[in-house]
């Protein structure tokens, strides 16, 4: 059993973050598993990973976390290395390459390739399945990535990620023209409970901030540059969709046919040709800037967009180049409204590591619906009868002689 006293500089932090600062050899995931198992205590009560620590608190840990067992085998996967020294590697990840095992993917990952090329010369902070991995890119998003070759370098780079001094710049072709030439999207991102493969802007999501700037305009699309302040899963793709400008070619976030049908008929053939030239979303990490963990010197690396991306831009430039944004395309304005989650009822409370199917309303049987209908009609007739009685009383008539609605004679009794 181990005891840790919270220092002033850790006051207000989540307990998992505090424990990571005192247990450097373990990842936050390892520590969170220990918390979820009820093996971390404050004042003899088990606490969760969301617990906030204060200066002077004594946190008790029943045991050290068990390290994740490694099932990662080295694989001879070619790597496009841009820069390498004894502490870091900067590489250009290709499209269609998963960064590390997970979600049913066991082999053919960047992590396996790193293990093959660098053997034991990789940081172990993120566990044996993610050797050297400091940050990630989606499978279909190519571009620059930073790899740590030792734990000291990894911690230094992780602090830069946390303080936002490690800058990552992306370029993306998006549908439509944004309302502003540049700006910031500040909207929390979490798992979409309607489709666990997707992320969404949700009230219970983690804080996410994306800065964007327009570089080029086309009649029905725009080339944007993005800078991440946080690094949530699918952050740029989700924020672009939320803004009303899905990434061009993105199959998961309405970046293909859902947008194609909103292009004016006279331009649809051009849009369809450009879309057919793309195998996935046109999004790429093109620049990375950071402080070297050993020399403390600022370093910056930049690459051009991939050939497929460049060909689409060249095609659109020759067909639908525009000098300024066009806000006359009402179809995309409507699309923007469709994508937003401003209504409180559209937000879902859900833990990042858990998934629970949404509660569905039970449908009434036909007999129940008929009974409900009869009840409504009876109430309506009762109200109508009371109204008629009041009117009869005002006319000086006997209110008890008023017939209930639906039972009035169809023939004048004086004629019978």
pLDDT of residue 414: 60
Q: Which structure tokens are listed for 123?
A: 């940081």
CA distances from 148 to 120, 302, 335 (A): 12, 19, 41
Q: Which structure tokens are listed for 100?
A: 């590390």
> What residues are annotated to the active site?
138
Q: Which structure tokens are listed for 53?
A: 């620590």
pLDDT of residue 327: 67
pLDDT of residue 188: 94
CA separation for the pair 89, 148 (Å, rounded): 7
Q: Which structure tokens are listed for 163?
A: 């303080």
| pTM reported for the whole predicted model | 0.68
Q: Are 183 and 209 in contact (CB under 8 A)?
A: no
CA separation for the pair 114, 82 (Å, rounded): 14
Domains of the chain: 2-61 (3.10.290.10), 68-163 (3.30.2350.10), 164-353 (3.30.2350.10)
Query: Long-range contacts for 3-8 (Cβ within 8 Å, ≥24 apart)?
Result: 3/58, 3/59, 3/60, 3/61, 4/58, 4/59, 4/61, 5/56, 5/57, 5/58, 5/59, 6/53, 6/54, 6/55, 6/56, 6/57, 6/58, 6/59, 7/55, 8/55
| Terminal-to-terminal C-alpha distance of the chain | 100
CA distances from 405 to 1, 136, 379, 382 (A): 79, 71, 11, 8
How confident is the prediction along the chain (416 residues), in pLDDT tens digits per residue? 788 899 988 889 899 888 888 886 677 777 888 888 888 999 888 998 889 999 999 999 887 766 555 678 899 999 999 999 999 999 999 999 999 887 778 889 999 999 999 988 999 888 888 899 999 999 999 999 999 999 999 999 999 988 888 999 999 999 999 988 999 999 999 988 888 789 999 988 889 999 999 999 999 999 999 999 988 999 999 999 999 999 999 999 999 999 999 999 999 999 999 999 998 999 999 999 999 999 999 999 999 999 999 999 999 999 999 988 876 665 565 555 454 444 434 433 333 333 344 444 456 777 777 888 888 888 888 888 888 888 888 787 887 777 776 655 555 556 55
CA separation for the pair 143, 94 (Å, rounded): 7
Angle of helix 330-339 relative to helix 235-243, nearest 10 degrees, comes to: 120
pLDDT of residue 357: 42
């Amino acid at each position: 059993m181990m005891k840790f006293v919270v220092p002033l500089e850790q006051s207000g932090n989540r307990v998992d973050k505090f424990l990571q600062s005192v247990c450097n050899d373990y990842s936050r995931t390892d520590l969170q598993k220990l918390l979820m198992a009820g093996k971390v205590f404050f004042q003899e009560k088990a606490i969760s990973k969301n617990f906030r620590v204060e200066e002077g608190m004594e946190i008790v840990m029943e045991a050290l976390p068990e390290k994740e067992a490694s099932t990662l085998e080295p694989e001879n996967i070619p790597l496009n290395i841009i820069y390498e020294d004894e502490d870091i590697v900067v590489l250009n990840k290709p499209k269609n390459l998963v960064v590390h095992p997970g979600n049913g993917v066991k082999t053919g990952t960047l992590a396996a390739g790193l293990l093959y090329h660098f053997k034991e010369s990789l940081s172990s902070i993120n566990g044996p399945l993610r050797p050297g991995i400091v940050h990630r890119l989606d499978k279909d998003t190519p571009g620059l990535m930073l790899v740590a070759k030792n734990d000291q370098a990894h911690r230094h780079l992780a602090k830069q990620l946390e303080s936002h001094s490690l800058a990552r710049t992306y370029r993306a072709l998006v549908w439509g023209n944004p309302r502003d030439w540049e700006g910031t999207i500040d909207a929390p991102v979490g798992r979409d409970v309607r489709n666990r493969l997707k992320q969404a802007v949700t009230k219970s999501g983690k804080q996410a901030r994306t800065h964007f700037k327009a570089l080029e305009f086309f009649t029905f699309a725009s080339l944007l540059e993005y800078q991440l302040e946080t690094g949530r899963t699918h952050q740029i793709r989700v924020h672009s969709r939320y803004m009303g400008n899905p990434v061009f070619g993105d199959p998961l976030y309405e970046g293909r046919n859902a947008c194609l049908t909103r292009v004016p008929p006279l331009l649809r053939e051009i849009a369809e040709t450009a879309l057919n030239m793309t195998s996935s979303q046109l999004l790429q990490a093109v620049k990375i800037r950071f402080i070297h963990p050993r020399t403390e010197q600022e370093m910056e690396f930049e690459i051009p967009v991939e050939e497929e991306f460049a060909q689409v831009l060249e095609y659109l430039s020759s067909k639908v180049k525009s000098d300024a944004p066009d806000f006359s395309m009402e179809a995309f304005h409507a699309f923007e409204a469709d994508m937003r989650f401003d209504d409180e009822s559209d937000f879902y409370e859900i833990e990042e590591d858990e998934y629970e199917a949404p509660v569905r309303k039970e449908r009434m049987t036909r007999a129940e619906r008929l009974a409900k209908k009869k009840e409504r009609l009876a109430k309506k007739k009762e109200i109508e009868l009371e109204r008629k009685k009041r009117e009869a009383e005002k006319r000086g008539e006997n209110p008890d002689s008023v017939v209930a609605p639906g039972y009035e004679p169809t023939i004048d009794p004086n004629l019978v």
